[in-house]
Amino acid sequence: MRRGASRAIALCAMLASLARAQSPVVAGSAGRSGIAGVVSDALGHPIRLAKLLVDGSPISTVTDDSGRFYLRGLPSGKAGFTVAKIGYAPVSFETSLLPDSMLVLAIHMRPVQVLNPVDVRAARVNAYLARTGFTERKRLGLGTFLTPEHIDSVAPSMTVLSDFLHGVPGLDLKCVGAGCVVYGHSPPGCLWLFVDGTPHGTQVQLDSVGVTPGIVAAIEIYDRPSRVPVEFQGAMPQKEGPSFSLAAGCGAIAVWTKARVP
């Protein structure tokens, strides 16, 4: 016997047994019609808990573990149906139900890609960093950049702002008590600190500026004066007797916080 004929006979036998089973009945169903069948994917695997809805009506049912459904007590005549299941494209069709008859169907559903939820907060942070120029400066690659993804991955283990900077090339941290001051290698001890674009001077104790690890969005570090973008450069050298101001020609650290994200 051919395989297709065998499957058809098996389907008919299955539906016959299904029709004898207890199933949802619509009140006043005498002399009415019914619909039954199997819902499967393109490979023939049954789809459980797919919902069959009668369009324009509160009547519905769901498929069992074998993908089977059975609904009787429907009014005869033209009717629309929709089969829906998360992860699959819905199937809608229209047919005519004959009086005192059972319509048997085989319905195939096509899987669709389910997109991951959009992290609105992350999108806002990235938009904010693009407006501040962080994204473009990172593209140029003149400094060291701790991105939002990196910050979020390590933030749970951080206790203070300076923890983010341990091990960053070109930096030295000198910690006394509960606070740390960060120094650059070239020239030694000369780094400007900016928080959300506002300068906080040089040789600042990082952990005293009121920025906790949980609100840090991103950090950019420029350990050499030659790499510092103009927006993070300190004042030009000022003549002070035989020497120049130590606040000029320094590197820079720019911290961006989620507190400024609109």
Q: pTM (2 decimals)?
A: 0.51
DSSP H helical ranges for the chain: 3-20, 120-132, 134-140, 148-154
pLDDT, average across residues 88-112: 92
- SS3 assignment, position 230: helix
Q: pLDDT digit string (tens) for 111-125?
A: 986 555 555 578 889
- The size of the chain, in residues, is 262
- SS3 assignment, position 214: helix
Range in 40-49, 116-125, 127-136 with the lowest mean pLDDT: 116-125
Query: CATH for 3-108?
Result: 2.60.40.1120
Range in 41-55, 180-194, 229-243 with the lowest mean pLDDT: 229-243
Contact partners, residue 16, CB within 8 Å, separation at least 6? none
Share of the chain above pLDDT 70, in %: 77
> Which burial class, exposed, middle or buried, applies to 32 when counting CB atoms under 10 A from its CB (0-12, 13-18, 19+)?
middle
Beta-strand runs (E) in 91-227: 91-97, 102-108, 144-146, 171-176, 179-184, 191-195, 198-202, 216-222
pLDDT, average across residues 60-87: 93
**Which of the four pLDDT bands, split at 50, 70 and 90, describes residue 1?**
very low
Residue ranges of domains in the chain: 3-108, 120-260
Domain 120-260 has CATH 3.40.50.720: no
